[in-house]
Structure 1
């Protein structure tokens, strides 16, 4: 994923505009797509492929006779609510940046960051609860997939927090909210993606209506 993003930026840096074809467009349509936005969508495509591979492996492993589901941690519902709140706060920050309201931008970034960190702390707490109950990575296939899926998602959340911290520092230093608008919009897109992926994983983790739940035993 890093190689793909690096290649995209390299191609953008070495573009020679005087050699490009000129196309006449109306003033409102002649807006170039930022390279960072394109790179983000490429990254999201690669990340989606990674999650699809894990879910496919899980679906194939589920059909074997030795599948043993885990208890359902109640804290997962709260963690989901925290990530929903973080995504909403990030979207509110985007609207504040478009209105050039610097104080609201900083407030929204802080709120989304705190909610996201709380989500990660909640996920680690769920891990501890399962570990204390005797469900380790090597205990069963269900336990292994639970830890792997939540860990991969958590690593993507940590990566997002790096971009969030950069946006927060720029928002604190910049007097013009419009100057950091692109970075905030990219963060919001990534946060919405993290939420969408987590909702899919949450369905796989706790909803047994499809016969695919990892945690379909009694609540923990």
Structure 2
């Protein structure tokens, strides 16, 4: 019998990634009435992806002055789009505040319970996330998922050498876990990295669109869309 795999993105899929962003912005420039934190967060994610690619991908992003520059620049570029000009010092302080609360993680309601049910039901359950290896693994440790998802099923692009949406990342996961694309489901929030990447690799995709964003293109269609873990559980189980 073919192994069935269910793989989850980490940031903004297992936990609310907006929370540390909002805290960091407020810490440096104050809480501005009517500021679109969610929209600004999406632009920060976009600039983070683009700058990372320019610098060689997540595998090159573990540490060093170039990494600090990228992390600072993503805040400068994102907030500039909303009329907030950050000095280098402010952007660096915002990044430091962001990192400072990034590992204080509360998973979405029902997330851990769904993973437990999938494991119990016999699925191959794993994680696939973009980012520097040590940085992402710290988040996974903070969520205390090791007893459910063994380390060999925790895939971080910085270690693999390719970033989502590169289909080689998804093929690597299939190869290591003994699963096949047609029996693999990916759950993620990013249209570009998760929906497009997994569909191009031949996987099924559930777009975890809890922020109710609009599709970024008409060329790809996720198999399903869910806005919370109750809906995800119904789709998967």
Q: TM-score over 0.5 for the alignment?
A: no
Identify which of structures 1 and 2 has the higher relative contact order when contacts are C-alpha pairs closer than 8 Å and 6+ apart.
1
Larger Rg: 1
Q: TM-score, normalised by structure 1?
A: 0.30
Q: TM-score, normalised by structure 2?
A: 0.29
- Name the structure where helix makes up a greater proportion of residues: 1
